[in-house]
Amino acid sequence: MRGAGRRQSGVDVDNHPIKSIDWLEKRASFEIRGFRRGLRQTVWSVLNRTGATLNLRKYNNGDRTQVVALWNTVFPDDPPHNEPNSVISEKLKVDDLIFVAEKDQQIVGACIAGYDGHRGWLYAVAIHPSNRRSGVGSKLVKHTLEQLKCLGCMKTNIQIRSTNTQVVSFYESLGFSTEDRLSMGIFIE
């Protein structure tokens, strides 16, 4: 982003006053809308409700320790095939659609995205418990959806465990709706 080095609290990159969080989100969304295939490594900085800078960006290898710790905290009962180190390694063999939310040089959120040319998916959306209900989750999901849109994705799905119904209203607030589907899976051995 041009001028990112001169960002100050209360002004955008062009030194215009930030009118509101919604205004800033719309402006940042406009800034990234033009990116297409081969997404550039970008940092989307926004002013969150507490005034701290939140960086929404692609995962890099230096994030591994923090992302693994985050996923272990948020998903303590995950089955062994969802072990974070393995998931990250296997995902990076396919593509680099892992996004993080970083505040004060700490990873406070992470999300894996998938796109097969037809439909997008969100996986392992995690926000550190101390950062929930602060807007981090919605900003991370919106950022990830925008990145999928830039790849040509028109529809994105998410699966929610039947034991995790408390997040349904969160996803509904972002425009997701429950579809009449059964989810099935198979382990390929």
42 pLDDT higher than 90: no
* Residue with more model confidence, 9 or 131: 131
The answer to whether residues 85 and 64 touch, using CB atoms and an 8 Å cutoff, is yes
**What is the torsional sign of CA 163, 169, 174, 176?**
positive
Compute the residue count for the chain. 189
Q: Is 71 helix (H, G, I), strand (E, B) or coil?
A: helix
The whole-number average pLDDT for the span 2-17 is 45
First to last CA, the chain: 45
Go through 119-144 and write b for each residue having 16 or more CB atoms within 10 A of its CB, e for each that does not.
ebbbbbbbbbeebeebbbbbbbbbbb
Q: For 93-124, what is each residue's pLDDT tens digit?
A: 999 999 999 999 999 999 999 999 999 999 99
Q: What is the pLDDT of residues 54-72, one digit of tens each?
A: 999 999 999 999 999 999 9
173 token code pair: 């607030």
pLDDT, averaged across the chain: 82
Residue ranges of domains in the chain, CATH in brackets: 51-173 (3.40.630.30)
As a whole-number percent, the residues of the chain with pLDDT over 90 amount to 67
Q: Is the pLDDT of residue 84 over 80?
A: yes
Say if residue 1's pLDDT is above 50: no
Q: What is the pLDDT of residue 152?
A: 97
